[in-house]
A and B are shown apart, each in its own frame.
Chain A
Amino acid sequence: MNQKSTKRNIDSFLLYVFSFLLLWEWLRPVEQLTGTSSINIFLGFIFGSLLLAFLGLPLVPTVVLKLIYILLTIQYIYFGNVDTWIDLFLKDFFQNAGSILKGQWTEMSDSFRTLLFFALLWITTYLLRYWLIDRKNILFFFLATLIFITVLDAFSPYEADAAIIRSVLTGFAMMGILTFRRLADSENIQKNGRIKRKWMFSLAAVIAGSAVIAFAVPKADPVWPNPVPFLKSLSGSGNTAVNETKRSGLRSDDSELGGPFLPANMVVFTAEVEEPHYWKVDTRDVYTGKGWISSSRDGQPLNFRRNVPSSLFSFTEKVPSEERTSIVYNEEDHAHIQYPHGLQRIDATSSYRYQLNQQTNGITALNGAEQEAPASYSVQYEHPSFQAKDLEASSPEEADRSFQAIADTYTQLPENVPPEIRELALDITRGQETWFDKAKAVEAYFSSSGFAYEQVDVPVPSEDEDYVAQFLFDTKRGYCDNFSTSMAVLLRTLDIPTRWVKGYTEGTYLETNEAENKIYQVTSENAHSWVEVYFPNIGWVPFEPTQGFTNEDVPELEETTETLVEEETTENIETPVETPEQPVAAEPEPEEEVNDASQEAPQPNVGLFLKTNWKNIVVLVAAVFVMAALFYRSRRKWLPFYYIFIYKRDRQDHHFPKAYLVLLTQLERCGLKRKAGQTLREYAKEIDLLFSSSSMTQLTGWYEQYLYRGSLPKGTWENARNEWESLMKKTR
């Protein structure tokens, strides 16, 4: 190496530090995505190699040091304290070398792979040194790093957001420093002078500035959906759940629906049932245009011990039904009771009480004062068999007295609901007379008409967009929330009372036990939402608009029963079991639900804000500091204008001495410092010589009068102002 390349100074040091950071970015995903452990050992090797390169040690000691490090590491990891490890290692080495020659790649042992990895790192650090010192060009490595990271970000679960930012910043800094070095070499510039400081300073400013801009500007949404879930589904379950949001149970807040559905496969409960059925958790009655909340109607939570109060009304006695019992074994802590349609009675240990929330129809279990569901309980319910002819016969004209209240509540719609929804509803139900026919028509509408079931690429509606309208007319893809909400809203536009139900599907069938009961496992992926329609004199009848799902309780149309069943069963047999579901409701704590409804807009929380945005804040603060520093450093340029502006309005002479002193300070900032023993007159001559003017001498003459004579002729400042301003401007 020639002399200047081995020179150690601060920017060489920075270059090596940045190289280390860039190389680190290659190792980070390795740790996360492969089985490689002890990544710190490799980091240590890189660090050591770069340090040796920076210190410029001769070749032989460098090689010896590195070999010792590698061998000791391999011994430490793979051989422990075996005395003969060298023999073992050599044997292993030749064996592996043999298998490489034979092309048997998979035969290699871990220790040999580690050795190869070390060799790779060695070569890389050597190359880095070559790029930094000899070529003075890091672009290739920088690009390779970026491509590597972005590809990993796109096609693997590795989240490279921070890594991309880090790499871009370090890479640009390196390129900036290296560019200066190349320029300095070709132009023969003094490498450590003012120019360098200026260069480094503006480099830092440019990088900081562009980073801030990059942070601040809005970014386009990805053009194609995230391929990771697809890749995951290809590769089976794998260990790819790392980056997923774990959601257990149901959400309590449904006021903002939309966005991707990221299920976690957590078992919520196991159920022992005579026949499979959907599990309700609670219902919602108010559609906001963005999601569902519950109305704040009057009604205290009702306490009960075993028999469910009659206010949990499902259907009338006219509906033929059959008494059944299901047993629930909870596997997850929550307070709500999940129950089948037609619930009559809950049996658990006697210490439990239950609370029915009359707004949401959610049931909370209380163990003493504690909200806690029993580990196991049985639910006794009436399984309805809704008859199509009864439903068709049901009409509002022959409604009972309670109907009006229900109709008022459950046909609510926000005022700004788009009119197209009602037009669509009228279109769909054209020719249908009865409510039941209309409901079935709307339910069937989603099976066709270009709708698609989609969990991930589901957008959140924008500020002024209706959730239902977005799904119906724009995206046409979504999961249960989209389908159920849309059906409920479509029917409401026809003044048919509907409510939105959250709960779970029947789950995954496991086995049939000795008592001929079926065991189902219900996970958070089975979270679901559907619709119930109110029929006068009959009650709440469930409907299932979501593609690929079947609810046994949903009544079928008489004449088309066969076709529909066929159509649905073909799809549903495999899907409902496996297809993940939207987590819908949350712990149905009745009191809280009301609160949720009234607190749609969450309070701004300072702590939370800081926590989520601290990176932005740090960057912002850093940017402000950089700007302030820049501003301060360039004060020579702008201060004159500031002072000219400030003194523009002052006409009294006593401002003149202040202005003169400002001028002196400004001249000093320009590097024209007056020596301590230099009189103002001499200094003024010097300044005038420099600016080829006579202003300074004139001004100084006046100032001398002020200072050494103790008085100023009247109107001095008026006379002096022009000279002063011209000098101030010249100092920029």
Chain B
Amino acid sequence: MTNRIHPGIEKILQNIEKVITGKQEVAKLSLVALLADGHVLLEDVPGVGKTMAVRALAKSISAELRRIQFTPDLLPSDVMGVSIYNPRDMDFQFYPGPIMGNIILADEINRTSPKTQSALLEGMEEKSITVDGVTYNLEKPFFVMATQNPIEYEGTYPLPEAQLDRFLLKMKMGYPTLDEEMEVLQRAQKVPPIDDLQPVISLQELRQLQLDIKEVYVDESIRRYIVELSSHTRSHENVFLGVSPRGSIALMKASQALAFIHERDYVLPDDIQYLAPFVFAHRIILRPEARFEGVQIEDVIEQVISRVSVPIQRHVAKYE
């Protein structure tokens, strides 16, 4: 399979590679989400390089990185910003919060109260925030990478399903391999490479790429394939709640971005199949009995993919 990468994207990936060892897939998927104007939920334990990855990404695209460490006592105003009365001007002045940036790292998003969570998530969806009756548009591009610790559940506020839907992709970072970790150690002895990182693409260029991605052709057969996959998740025997139409849209957008990254102006079923687990996993709720039986969402998605027949002919609708 010829997997050429778009030259601009290639540079970003190389940049990230300089900092993070062996996490090309995470980097690529993050770029997919960034280009598709979506957001990413990283589910992983601390210390695997989430922050570093995001920082590298931000630096490569010369974007401003804001980090919000979510804690139970964090308030919405801590995220969005606050209006303070300025006695000199005899007026309220708005001090923007960390959300007013290009790339937001929302660390341990499930540790804060639903009130604060929804403030962020609303901004993610609307691309704008309203403080004291004034609406502020967020920066473009606006990209949130939220992390979630799957180990500790005590004192956490799990994100409601409706909120999870707002993330384009959910993925896991995973531990590096032995070799990779040794490489990490070796790099840690020197000056952190992140400081030397140069931007390879301007924000302006990135915005253009985001526009280009919308032009990637999605054939009718592909659209049908996406819809069939989604509807299969809804009728799957182990699934309590299947993928919503918003999930279908997400999959299409993500696949467009992926096709673009691979320098293609059309989407392949391969793109869909590659992305489906990342797009669908957090949008499916298993039946409790299936969960007790140890069924994994990933297995369900795999089954769905294997059951839905890939379109290989034109104008022939295939339903199962």
Docked complex: B304-320 residues within 8 A CB-CB of A:
305-314, 320
Chain B min CB distance to A676 (Å): 4
In whole angstroms, how far apart are the Cα atoms of A12 and B269 in the complex? 52
Interface contact B270-A679, CB-CB below 8 Å? yes
Chain A min CB distance to B270 (Å): 5
Which single residue of chain A is at the shortest CB-CB distance from B219? A708
Q: Given the complex, which residues of B lie within 8 Å of A657, measured CB to CB?
A: 314
Interface contact B266-A680, CB-CB below 8 Å? no
Q: Given the complex, which residues of B lie within 8 Å of A676, measured CB to CB?
A: 306-310, 320
| Contacts A707-B311, A708-B221, A710-B219 given; does A681 touch B306 at CB 8 Å | no
Interface contact B267-A708, CB-CB below 8 Å? yes
Query: Is B94 on the interface with A (CB-CB < 8 A)?
Result: no
Which single residue of chain A is at the shortest CB-CB distance from B313? A661
Which single residue of chain B is at the shortest CB-CB distance from A707? B314
In whole angstroms, how far apart are the Cα atoms of A171 and B307 in the complex? 51
Query: Is A705 on the interface with B (CB-CB < 8 A)?
Result: yes
Which single residue of chain A is at the shortest CB-CB distance from B216? A709
Query: Is A678 on the interface with B (CB-CB < 8 A)?
Result: yes
Among B219, B267, B312, which residue has its beta carbon within 8 angstroms of that of A680? B312
Query: Is B1 on the interface with A (CB-CB < 8 A)?
Result: yes
Query: Is B77 on the interface with A (CB-CB < 8 A)?
Result: no
In whole angstroms, how far apart are the Cα atoms of A708 and B271 in the complex? 12
Query: Is B222 on the interface with A (CB-CB < 8 A)?
Result: yes
Interface contact B310-A709, CB-CB below 8 Å? no
Query: Is A704 on the interface with B (CB-CB < 8 A)?
Result: yes
Query: Is A682 on the interface with B (CB-CB < 8 A)?
Result: yes
Chain A min CB distance to B185 (Å): 36
Docked complex: A667-691 residues within 8 A CB-CB of B:
674-682, 685
Interface contact A675-B306, CB-CB below 8 Å? yes
In whole angstroms, how far apart are the Cα atoms of A679 and B312 in the complex? 8
Query: Is B210 on the interface with A (CB-CB < 8 A)?
Result: no
Query: Is A664 on the interface with B (CB-CB < 8 A)?
Result: yes
Interface contact A679-B268, CB-CB below 8 Å? yes
Query: Is A294 on the interface with B (CB-CB < 8 A)?
Result: no
Which single residue of chain B is at the shortest CB-CB distance from A675? B306
Chain B min CB distance to A202 (Å): 35
Chain B min CB distance to A627 (Å): 33
Which single residue of chain B is at the shortest CB-CB distance from A705? B266
Q: Given the complex, which residues of B lie within 8 Å of A697, measured CB to CB?
A: 1-2
Q: Given the complex, which residues of A lie within 8 Å of B312, measured CB to CB?
A: 661, 664, 674, 680, 707
Chain A min CB distance to B137 (Å): 36
Interface contact B219-A678, CB-CB below 8 Å? no
Chain B min CB distance to A704 (Å): 6
Query: Is B263 on the interface with A (CB-CB < 8 A)?
Result: no
Tally chain A residues at the interface, Cβ within 8 Å: 22
In whole angstroms, how far apart are the Cα atoms of A645 and B76 in the complex? 73
Which single residue of chain B is at the shortest CB-CB distance from A677? B306
Q: Given the complex, which residues of B lie within 8 Å of A664, measured CB to CB?
A: 312
Which single residue of chain A is at the shortest CB-CB distance from B274? A679
Interface contact B1-A678, CB-CB below 8 Å? no
Query: Is A44 on the interface with B (CB-CB < 8 A)?
Result: no
In whole angstroms, how far apart are the Cα atoms of A707 and B314 in the complex? 6
Sort chain B's interface into a size bin.
20 to 34
In whole angstroms, how far apart are the Cα atoms of A701 and B262 in the complex? 13
Query: Is B265 on the interface with A (CB-CB < 8 A)?
Result: yes
Query: Is B217 on the interface with A (CB-CB < 8 A)?
Result: yes
Task: Tell me the dominant secondary structure on chain B's binding face.
Answer: loop
Interface centre among A677, A701, A710 (most CB of B within 10 A): A677
Interface contact B308-A677, CB-CB below 8 Å? yes
In whole angstroms, how far apart are the Cα atoms of A707 and B266 in the complex? 10
Q: Given the complex, which residues of A lie within 8 Å of B309, measured CB to CB?
A: 676-677
Chain B min CB distance to A689 (Å): 12
Chain A min CB distance to B151 (Å): 33
Which single residue of chain B is at the shortest CB-CB distance from A684? B1
Which single residue of chain A is at the shortest CB-CB distance from B222? A708
Interface contact A685-B1, CB-CB below 8 Å? yes
Q: Given the complex, which residues of A lie within 8 Å of B266, measured CB to CB?
A: 704-705, 708-710
| Contacts A675-B306, A679-B273 given; does A709 touch B311 at CB 8 Å | no
Q: Given the complex, which residues of A lie within 8 Å of B2, measured CB to CB?
A: 697, 701
Chain B min CB distance to A707 (Å): 6
Interface contact B269-A709, CB-CB below 8 Å? no
Chain A min CB distance to B40 (Å): 25
Interface contact B221-A707, CB-CB below 8 Å? yes
Interface centre among A676, A679, A706 (most CB of B within 10 A): A679
Chain A min CB distance to B159 (Å): 30
Which single residue of chain A is at the shortest CB-CB distance from B217? A709
In whole angstroms, how far apart are the Cα atoms of A701 and B2 in the complex? 9
Q: Given the complex, which residues of A lie within 8 Å of B268, measured CB to CB?
A: 679, 681, 704, 708
Among B1, B221, B222, which residue has its beta carbon within 8 angstroms of that of A681? B1
Interface contact B1-A710, CB-CB below 8 Å? no
In whole angstroms, how far apart are the Cα atoms of A676 and B225 in the complex? 12
Interface contact A679-B217, CB-CB below 8 Å? no
In whole angstroms, how far apart are the Cα atoms of A677 and B302 in the complex? 9
Interface contact B310-A678, CB-CB below 8 Å? yes
Interface contact A709-B265, CB-CB below 8 Å? yes
Chain A min CB distance to B90 (Å): 62
Which single residue of chain A is at the shortest CB-CB distance from B307? A677
Contact with B along A57-72 (1 / 0, CB 8 A): 0000000000000000
Docked complex: B184-228 residues within 8 A CB-CB of A:
217, 219, 221-222
Q: Given the complex, which residues of B lie within 8 Å of A661, measured CB to CB?
A: 312-313
In whole angstroms, how far apart are the Cα atoms of A629 and B270 in the complex? 40
Q: Given the complex, which residues of A lie within 8 Å of B313, measured CB to CB?
A: 661, 707
Interface contact B269-A708, CB-CB below 8 Å? yes
Which single residue of chain B is at the shortest CB-CB distance from A697? B1
In whole angstroms, how far apart are the Cα atoms of A319 and B205 in the complex? 139
Contact with A along B255-287 (1 / 0, CB 8 A): 000000000011111100100000000000000
In whole angstroms, how far apart are the Cα atoms of A697 and B270 in the complex? 14
Q: Given the complex, which residues of B lie within 8 Å of A679, measured CB to CB?
A: 268-270, 273, 310
Which single residue of chain B is at the shortest CB-CB distance from A706? B314
Chain A min CB distance to B309 (Å): 4
Interface contact B310-A680, CB-CB below 8 Å? yes
In whole angstroms, how far apart are the Cα atoms of A710 and B265 in the complex? 11
Interface contact B219-A682, CB-CB below 8 Å? no
Chain B min CB distance to A88 (Å): 78
In whole angstroms, how far apart are the Cα atoms of A501 and B308 in the complex? 92
Chain A min CB distance to B230 (Å): 15
In whole angstroms, how far apart are the Cα atoms of A706 and B312 in the complex? 10
Q: Given the complex, which residues of A lie within 8 Å of B269, measured CB to CB?
A: 679-680, 708
In whole angstroms, how far apart are the Cα atoms of A679 and B275 in the complex? 14
Which single residue of chain A is at the shortest CB-CB distance from B273? A679
Chain B min CB distance to A678 (Å): 7
Docked complex: A688-722 residues within 8 A CB-CB of B:
697, 701, 704-710
Q: Given the complex, which residues of A lie within 8 Å of B221, measured CB to CB?
A: 707-708
In whole angstroms, how far apart are the Cα atoms of A706 and B268 in the complex? 11
In whole angstroms, how far apart are the Cα atoms of A675 and B269 in the complex? 14
Among B1, B219, B307, which residue has its beta carbon within 8 angstroms of that of A709? B219
Q: Given the complex, which residues of B lie within 8 Å of A682, measured CB to CB?
A: 270
Q: Given the complex, which residues of B lie within 8 Å of A674, measured CB to CB?
A: 312
Chain A min CB distance to B97 (Å): 43
In whole angstroms, how far apart are the Cα atoms of A674 and B309 in the complex? 10
Chain A min CB distance to B215 (Å): 12
Chain A min CB distance to B105 (Å): 35
Docked complex: B107-140 residues within 8 A CB-CB of A:
none
4 further A-B pairs in the complex, CB-CB below 8 A; given A681-B1, A708-B267: A677-B310, A680-B269, A706-B314, A708-B268
A-B contact pairs, 17 of them (CB 8 A): A661-B312, A675-B306, A676-B306, A676-B307, A676-B309, A677-B273, A677-B310, A679-B269, A679-B273, A680-B269, A697-B2, A706-B314, A707-B314, A708-B222, A708-B266, A708-B267, A708-B268
Chain A contact residues, CB within 8 Å of chain B: 657, 661, 664, 674-682, 685, 697, 701, 704-710
Chain B contact residues, CB within 8 Å of chain A: 1-2, 217, 219, 221-222, 265-270, 273, 305-314, 320
Pick the 5 closest A-B CB pairs, nearest first: A709-B266, A677-B306, A676-B309, A679-B269, A708-B219
